[in-house]
Structure 1
Amino acid sequence: MLELQDVSFTIQKDGESVNLVDQVNIKVPRGHFMAIVGPSGCGKTTLLKVIAGLNPESAGGLFWEGRNLSIEGDLDASDIGYVPQFSIAYDPLTVDESVEAATRLRVKVRNMEDLDQRIDRVLEETGLAAIADRQVKVLSGGQKRRLGLAMELVSDPKLLLCDEVTSGLDPRSEREIVRLLHDLSRKEGRIVLSVTHSLAHLELYDSILVLHEGRVAFHGPPDQVTHYFSVHDTEEIYPKLATQTSERWQSSWMKHREPYYTKLERNRQRLVDAGSLEMPRQEEAPDPSATTPLGTKPQPEKVRTPGFFTQFTTLLSRRWRIFFRDRGQVFLQLAILICFPLLVTLFSEDAKGQIANLSDTRQTDIKEMISEEAMVKKGQVQVGSAVSGIIMFQVILLCLMASNNSAREIAAERPIFEKEKFGGLRPTAYLASKVTFLACLVLAQSLWMAVFVNMFAPFRGGTGGFESHIIFLLLVNGGMTAICLGISSLMRTAEQASLLSIYLVGFQLPLSGAVLALPGAVESFTRPFISAYWAWSGSVKALEPKVQDAVQTVISTSLSEKQVCMYILAFHIGAGLIAAWIGTRRHQWD
C-alpha cells in the first residue's frame, strides 16, 4: 500500500512560503488504478513528483508497504516507473532499440535470452510488437505514449506514475491508453497513478483524486464523484470547485471520506474474489531447501541495476548509432573536417618563404648593407606573420569545432538523461560515454588538421617540433571540448549552452594577444582562461629558432614555455570535466 500522511510541498515565492501541495492524506492499495485530476495549477504534477521523490516533501510522510520513505529512503529505481509528459526516446532509434537500451540500462539480465524475453514481453503488453522496427520519429502520439510505458515496464515496477500521458491525443487513442493503464494495474498488484486533465473514461479508474489548490477535495470511487460534488456531469466539477475555498473543500472531505474509503475497499475485495486482480505473493526470505509446489507461480527475482561497464557500453553504442543516423550531423562534421583545414591552406604560400641570413662578410657599401638588412627584415616579417597566423588560425578553427562538438551534447538531451538517471543510470557512466565519444571526434579533427595543413605549409619546427604542434592542437581541441561539455551540463537549455560556448570561442582570438598585445592588467587576468593563447604560444615555441625569432619580430606578446603551455591546457581539460561531472550529478529535472 502507498499512503500519504499530511504531505506538503512548500516553495518560497517573493519571500513568502507557498504550499503547492498542502496536507494531502490518501491511501492507495496494491493493484489500484487512480486518476489525479483538478484544474490547471492545482498541484497534480507536483504531487506526482513528491511521490516519485523528485520533489522532497516539506512536511508529512510517505509510506510504502509500511516503510517510511521520508526516513528510510526512496524506493529502489527498479520498483518505480515514471512516465513524464515529454518523450523519453530518441527519434533516430527504432521502437525495439529504444526498449532494448532501456532494458540494458535498468535491468541486469542473466543472458541474451533473458534480455530478448523481457523486451518481447513489454512490447506485447503495450501493443508495440507489430511496429518494433519503426523509428520513433514516425510514431503517432499514442504510439509514443505506449513506447514511454514500455520503457518503464522493463524493470517490472511496483509503482507506475504517469504524468499527462493522454494529453493531446484523439478520443480513441486516449481511451486505448487509459485501458492499457487499467490492464497494467491488474498485474502483480501494481499501483498505477495517472495525472490527467481529462474527465473522460473515469469509469476505467478504481478511484479519482480531485485536487484544488494543492489540497484534497475528493478521493473515492468514480461513480460517486458527481454525487459528492452535487453535479449532474463530471464536466461541472471544476466550476463547482471554484465556488468554495480549498480549505473548505479539504475540511468537508476529511469529514466524509470514511464511507467512500469503505466502498473502495469493498470494490477492491470484489475484484480479488473474482480473480480480476492479480496480487503478488507476500515476499519472504528465500529458503534454499524449499521447493516450489506444482501449479504455484514462483516469486519473481528482484530486479537489479546493471553495473557501470554495461551502462557505459550501452550508452556509447547508442550514441554512435544516433550519430550515424543523423545525416545532417554527419554531413556537418565531414564538411567541417574538410573545409576548415582547406581554409588554413589558403594562407600557406607565405609560410614557405625562406628567411635570408646576413652575409658573414660585412658590406663596405652602406647602401648595400642597409639593403641586405631590409631584405632579411622583410623575409622575417613575411614568414613570421604567415607562420604565426596559420598556427592561430588552426587553433581558433579547432576551438570552433570543439564548440560544435559538445555545446549541445548534454543540454539538448537533458530531459531524457534526467529520466534515465531517475531510473538508475549512473552519472559517471553517462559522462564517461560522452567523453569517449567526443575524444574520438577530437582525435580525428586535430590529427587531420595538423597533417593536412602540414602537406601544404610544412611546420617549421626543430626536432620533435611537428609532434609538439600536434599535441598542442589535440590539447586545445580537447580543452575547449571539455569546457563546452561542462557548460552544456550546467545550462538548462541547449540554446543557452550554445550561445555561451560561441561567446567563449569568439573571445579567444582578441584575448589571446596573437594579433594585438593586451594591457598588462587585462592580460594577467584573462590569459589563464584563454586556451587559444597556450596552444599558439606552445606551438610557436616548438618552431625552429630562426622561424621562432621571425614570429617574435611581428608580435609584441610574450611567449610561454612549452611545458607550461601543456600543463595549463591539461588543466583546462580537467576543469571542463569537473564542471561536466558536477552538472551531470546535479538535479535539473524541469
Structure 2
Amino acid sequence: MLELRNLSFTIEKDGDLIDLVHDICLNLPRGHFTAIVGPSGCGKTTLLKTIAGLNIESAGEIHWMGRNSFEHGDLMPNEFGYVPQFSIAYDQLTVEESIECASRLRVRAWGRDARDEIIDRALEQTGMTDIADRRVSVLSGGQKRRLGLAMELVANPPLLLADEVTSGLDPRSEDEIVHRLADLAHEQNRTVISVTHSLANLQLYDSIIVLYAGCLAYHGPPSAMPHYFSVDHAEDVYPALAKREPAQWHASWKKHRRFYYDKLDLPLPLSPALDTDHLEASGEQTDTAPLLEEGDDTTALEATDQKPTATDEGAEKPDTQELAQEKQESAPSEESDTEAALSDTQALTCLDEAPESDEESEKIAKLPGILAQFLLVLTRRFKIFFRDRTTLILHAAILIGFPLLVALFTIEGVEPIKKYGESTAATGFEQMQAEIEVRESSLQSGSFVSGLIMFQVVLLSLMGANNSAREVAGERDIFEKEKLGGLRPFSYLASKLVFLTLLVVAQSTWMGVFVEYFWPIPGNFLSHLLMLLMVNGAMTAVCLGISSMMKSADQANLLSIYLVGFQLPLSGAILALPGFLEPLVRPFISAYWSWSGSVMSLNDGYRQAVQTVSETELSPHTLCLIFLGIHIAAGLTMGILGLRKNLWQH
C-alpha cells in the first residue's frame, strides 16, 4: 500500500514560503487505479514528483509496502515507474531498440531469451508489437505515450506514476491510454496513479484525487464526486472549487473523508505524530482523521454536519432518501469515531511495521552493474551518431574543411619558411643587404608560423566546443529520466568521455598531419601534435562540463561559443595583453597554453623568429601540459557535479 501522511512540499519565493502541496493524507492499495485531477497549477505534477522522490518533502511521510521513505530513503529505482508527458526515447532508435535499451539499463537478465521475454512482454502490454521496427521519430503522440509506458514496464514496477500522458491527445488515443493504464493496475496488481487535467473516462478509475491550490479537496469514488461537490456533472467540479477557499475545502474533506474511504474499503491514513498510547492516557480524541484545529473555517462546515457533502451556499443540494440515509451513517458519534479510529490505528500500525516479504522483494528487478550500463550507453551513442545524417555531414565538413581553411590562408607563407635560415656568403654591401633580407624573412616566418599554429589551435578549440556543447544538455530530459530509473551518472559520463575522446583524437591527428604534410614546420612534430590534442581535449572537456551544468542546449551552446570567441584575443598571441590583465586571464585560456607549447617545440631559429614578432612571453612546454591537464580535470569535475544535480525541467 502507498500511504501519504500529512505530506507537504514548500518552496521559498521572494522571501515567502509557499505550499505547493499541503498536508496530503491518503491511502492507495495495490491493484488500484487513481487519477489526480484539478485546475492548472493546483499541484498535481508536484505531488507526483514528490512521491517519485524528485521533490524532497518538506513535511510528512511517504510509506510504501510498510517502509517509511523518510527513514529508509526514497523508493528504489525499480520499485516504481515514472512516465512523463514528454518523449523519453531517441528519435534515431526503433521502438524495439528503445525498449531494449531501457531493459538493459534497468534490469539484470541472464541470456538472450530472458531479455527477449522482457521486451516482448512490454510490447504486448502496450500494444506495440506490430510497430516494433518503426523509428521513434515517425510515431504519433499516442504511440510515443505508449512507448513511454513500455519503457517503464520492463522492470515490472509495482507502482506506476503517469504525468499527463493523455495531454494533447485526440479522444480516441486518450481513451486507449486510460484503458491500458486501468488494465495495468487491475490485471497485474499494480498501483497506478495518473495525473490528468481531463475528466473523461472517470468510470475507469477506482478513485479520484481532487487537488485545489495544493490542498486535498476530495479522494473517493468517481461516482460520488458530483454529489460531494453538489454539482450535476463531473465537468462542473472545477467551477465549484473556485467558490470556496482551498483551506475550506481541505478542512471539509478532513471531516467527511471517513464516509468515502468506507466506500473505497480503505483504512484512513495515519498521522506521523499520532501517539495512541498518549492520547488514550490523556483521554483526548484519537480519531486518525485529523479534526479541525484552531483557525480552521468552521462556519462553512456547520451547514454540512448533517451530511457528508461539501456544498456551497446557494448550490443545489440533492435531497433523496438514499442520500439522506448515507449522510446520517456518515456522521457517527464522537465515541464511535474514537473506537473506529483506534481500530484503524492498530490495523495500520501492524501493517506499517510488517517487514516486506521475501516473495515481494524478489519481484523487484535488480539493476545492472556499472560496466553493463556504460557499455550499453556507449553502444547506443555510436548507433545514434551514425544514424544522424545531419550530424555526420557536419562532423565530416569540419574534419575536412577546417584543415583546408588553414591551407587557404597559409599558401603565401610557405616560401618565407623555406628561405628562412638559408646562409649567404657575401661581403660589404651585399652582406648588409643579405642581413636585411634575413631579418625580413625572420619577421615574415615568425608571423606566419605563429599565425599558423594559432589558427590550428583556435579551430580545434571550435571543434571541441562543437563536440560537446550539446552532448548532455541536448538530451538532458532523457538522462534525468534514465537517472531516475537507475542509470548511474558515472556510467553515463564515462560513455561520453570515450566517445568524445575518439572524436578528439581523430580531429587533432588529422589537423596536425594534414598541415605537417603540406606545410612542414621545422621542429618536434610529436610535441606539436600533443599540444593540438590537449587543446582540443581541454575545450571538449570544459564544454562538456558546461553542457552538464546548463538547463538547456541553447544555453550550453551559447556559453561555449563565447568561450571559444575569447580564446584568440585573450591568448596574447596576436596582440600582447596589458600587463595587469595578463596574469588574471592567462590561466583560463587554453589557446595560449597550446600555442606557447607548440612554439616551444620549434627549432631554436624559428622559436626566436616567433618571439621577434610577439611580445607575449612563452611558457615552458611542461607547464603548458600541466595547465591544459588542469583544464581537462576542471571540465570533468564540472561534468560530474552537473550530472549529479537534479535538472528535471518538466
Task: Work out the CA distance in 1 between the residues paired with 2:151 and 2:478.
Answer: 12
**What is residue 483 of structure 2 aligned with on the other side?**
421
* Alignment of structure 1 residues 107-506 onto 2, 5 Å: 107-265=107-265, 284-285=357-358, 301-346=363-408, 347-351=410-414, 352-356=417-421, 363=427, 365=428, 367-461=429-523, 465-506=524-565
SS in 1 for 2:581: helix
| Shift of residue 266, structure 1, vs aligned partner | 8.1
| Shift of residue 521, structure 1, vs aligned partner | 1.1
**What is residue 614 of structure 2 aligned with on the other side?**
555
**What is residue 578 of structure 1 aligned with on the other side?**
637
**What is residue 274 of structure 1 aligned with on the other side?**
none
| Shift of residue 225, structure 1, vs aligned partner | 0.5
Does the 8 A contact of 1:348 with 1:456 survive in 2? no
Matched, 1:545 2:604: yes
Task: Work out the CA distance in 1 between the residues paired with 2:15 and 2:391.
Answer: 46
**What is residue 313 of structure 2 aligned with on the other side?**
none
Task: Work out the CA distance in 2 between the residues paired with 1:285 and 1:503.
Answer: 56
Task: Work out the CA distance in 1 between the residues paired with 2:92 and 2:214.
Answer: 39
| Shift of residue 421, structure 1, vs aligned partner | 0.3
**What is residue 27 of structure 1 aligned with on the other side?**
27
User: Which string of whole-angstrom CA distances, capped at 9 and with x for unpartnered residues, describes residues 158-200 of structure 1?
Assistant: 1100000000000010000000000000133210000000000
| Shift of residue 284, structure 1, vs aligned partner | 3.5
**What is residue 9 of structure 1 aligned with on the other side?**
9
C-alpha RMSD of matched pairs (Å): 1.5
Does the 8 A contact of 2:421 with 2:605 survive in 1? no
Task: Work out the CA distance in 2 between the residues paired with 1:299 and 1:28.
Answer: 19
| Shift of residue 382, structure 1, vs aligned partner | 1.4
Task: Work out the CA distance in 1 between the residues paired with 2:574 and 2:15.
Answer: 50
**What is residue 564 of structure 1 aligned with on the other side?**
623
User: Which string of whole-angstrom CA distances, capped at 9 and with x for unpartnered residues, describes residues 510-546 of structure 1?
Assistant: 0001100001110101001110011111111111111
User: Which string of whole-angstrom CA distances, capped at 9 and with x for unpartnered residues, describes residues 371-398 of structure 1?
Assistant: 1221011111111111111110000000
User: AA paired with 1:78?
Assistant: N
User: AA paired with 1:63?
Assistant: H
Task: Work out the CA distance in 2 between the residues paired with 1:45 and 1:123.
Answer: 27
Number of matched residues?
559
SS in 1 for 2:613: coil
| Shift of residue 370, structure 1, vs aligned partner | 2.9
| Shift of residue 454, structure 1, vs aligned partner | 1.0
Task: Work out the CA distance in 1 between the residues paired with 2:50 and 2:608.
Answer: 67
> More deviation in 346-355 or 168-177?
346-355
Does the 8 A contact of 1:358 with 1:372 survive in 2? no
Task: Work out the CA distance in 2 between the residues paired with 1:421 and 1:210.
Answer: 30
**What is residue 273 of structure 1 aligned with on the other side?**
none
Matched, 1:536 2:601: no
| Shift of residue 369, structure 1, vs aligned partner | 3.8
SS in 1 for 2:420: coil
What TM-score, normalized to structure 2? 0.84
| Shift of residue 299, structure 1, vs aligned partner | 9.0
| Shift of residue 353, structure 1, vs aligned partner | 2.6
> More deviation in 258-267 or 338-347?
258-267
Task: Work out the CA distance in 1 between the residues paired with 2:496 and 2:361.
Answer: 39
Task: Work out the CA distance in 2 between the residues paired with 1:299 and 1:238.
Answer: 41
Does the 8 A contact of 1:102 with 1:154 survive in 2? yes
**What is residue 74 of structure 1 aligned with on the other side?**
74
5+ unaligned residues in a row in structure 1: which ranges?
268-281, 287-297
Task: Work out the CA distance in 1 between the residues paired with 2:21 and 2:91.
Answer: 35
User: AA paired with 1:50?
Assistant: T
| Shift of residue 348, structure 1, vs aligned partner | 4.0
**What is residue 517 of structure 1 aligned with on the other side?**
576
Residues 301, 207 of structure 1: alpha-carbon distance in 2 compared, 3 angstrom cutoff = closer
User: Which string of whole-angstrom CA distances, capped at 9 and with x for unpartnered residues, describes residues 462-494 of structure 1?
Assistant: xxx000011000000000000000000001111
Task: Work out the CA distance in 2 between the residues paired with 1:283 and 1:529.
Answer: 54
Task: Work out the CA distance in 2 between the residues paired with 1:99 and 1:22.
Answer: 37
Task: Work out the CA distance in 2 between the residues paired with 1:241 and 1:38.
Answer: 9
**What is residue 326 of structure 2 aligned with on the other side?**
none
**What is residue 272 of structure 1 aligned with on the other side?**
none
Q: Percent identity?
A: 58
Does the 8 A contact of 2:425 with 2:431 survive in 1? no
Task: Work out the CA distance in 2 between the residues paired with 1:369 and 1:299.
Answer: 93
Task: Work out the CA distance in 2 between the residues paired with 1:104 and 1:315.
Answer: 9
User: AA paired with 2:583?
Assistant: S
Task: Work out the CA distance in 2 between the residues paired with 1:188 and 1:168.
Answer: 28
SS in 2 for 1:521: coil
Does the 8 A contact of 1:358 with 1:373 survive in 2? no
**What is residue 99 of structure 2 aligned with on the other side?**
99
| Shift of residue 112, structure 1, vs aligned partner | 1.2
Residues 250, 266 of structure 1: alpha-carbon distance in 2 compared, 3 angstrom cutoff = closer
What TM-score, normalized to structure 1? 0.93
Larger radius of gyration: 2
Does the 8 A contact of 2:207 with 2:220 survive in 1? yes
| Shift of residue 307, structure 1, vs aligned partner | 0.3
Does the 8 A contact of 2:489 with 2:644 survive in 1? yes
Task: Work out the CA distance in 2 between the residues paired with 1:105 and 1:199.
Answer: 35
| Shift of residue 368, structure 1, vs aligned partner | 3.0
Does the 8 A contact of 1:354 with 1:383 survive in 2? no
User: AA paired with 2:419?
Assistant: Q
| Shift of residue 551, structure 1, vs aligned partner | 1.3
Does the 8 A contact of 1:11 with 1:20 survive in 2? yes
Task: Work out the CA distance in 2 between the residues paired with 1:284 and 1:127.
Answer: 32
Task: Work out the CA distance in 1 between the residues paired with 2:263 and 2:563.
Answer: 64
| Shift of residue 283, structure 1, vs aligned partner | 6.1
User: AA paired with 1:404?
Assistant: N
Does the 8 A contact of 1:349 with 1:457 survive in 2? no
Does the 8 A contact of 2:538 with 2:635 survive in 1? yes
| Shift of residue 459, structure 1, vs aligned partner | 2.3
Task: Work out the CA distance in 2 between the residues paired with 1:51 and 1:355.
Answer: 73
5+ unaligned residues in a row in structure 2: which ranges?
268-354
